[in-house]
Structure 1
């Protein structure tokens, strides 16, 4: 009986993890699709799972090199190399929005729900255009 309960627990956790990753990627695809950076959008992420899934969905153009990207999806501060720090950066952790002044927005989970924040002054400074669909997520400053 313990073995069966343990097995059910691990299967549930695995599927829950996969579904949250899929939801995160769907949200990222929608956000990035609704953004214009004045040139062809090419996306790079330090999270290889996200990058590979974006490639397989074939909705966004991706690149294996951050230097070729116009938008970087960043999960870890340590993975941002100097040569790529001038790119438009979208972070997956709210703290990184404060830590990386070049970042223009964030997708993060709080109380089990996804939260999206896009900073008005940063998109203006980087000449990033956002569609009206993203207006509810525009903030004046990092809170």
Structure 2
């Protein structure tokens, strides 16, 4: 019972306030994560449905969660058929033909590994974090609603993060 109260407290104090301005309703953290990605991808691509190619060691987990919680995301089997590639976790070998398209990650470290990765949505100390890189968005002529302004960082700021992480 004590653990359940602790989890509820964490959700109410950490997760809800950090994401409430994005206006996403959810019942479990996995649903929150997928719905934030769905909203972001729809806003980036200005489409009613977004085709997502998954790579990385967490791709099967994201596939299940997208199929379960995201009505407007469709997982595809090739990056050539995708609107965006989601790097789900860590990736050992990245398909070369996918480097030309739009990339997004669930790990902050991938922002430094893939110079064309638009941003990352990741968890740190139990809290959701979203980072979008201004220059990379501008390169693709992506304009987002003002509700994302607080998550957009310059390439210089991201480089400072990298040095702090020693990646």
Query: Structure 1 length as normaliser, TM-score?
Result: 0.76
Q: Is the 8 A contact 2:50 2:72 kept in 1?
A: no
Say if 1:78 and 1:129 are closer, same or farther in 2 by CA, change over 3 A.
Answer: farther
- CA–CA distance in 2 between the matches of 1:78 and 1:138? 27
Write out aligned runs for 1:51-70 (5 A). Answer: 51-56=63-68, 57-70=70-83
Write out aligned runs for 1:1-143 (5 A). Answer: 19-36=28-45, 41-46=50-55, 47-56=59-68, 57-74=70-87, 75-141=89-155, 142=158, 143=161
Moved more, 106-115 or 18-27: 18-27
Runs (4+) of structure 1 exceeding 3 A deviation are none
What is the alpha-carbon root mean square deviation over aligned residues? Answer: 2.8
Q: Number of residue pairs matched?
A: 131
- CA–CA distance in 2 between the matches of 1:43 and 1:106? 15
Residues 60-100 of structure 1: CA deviation (Å, up to 9, x unaligned): 24322222112111022325210111111111111110111
Structure 1: state its 5+ residue gaps: 1-8
- CA–CA distance in 2 between the matches of 1:59 and 1:52? 14
The structure having more radius of gyration, on CA atoms, is 1
Query: Structure 2 length as normaliser, TM-score?
Result: 0.66
- CA–CA distance in 2 between the matches of 1:129 and 1:49? 30
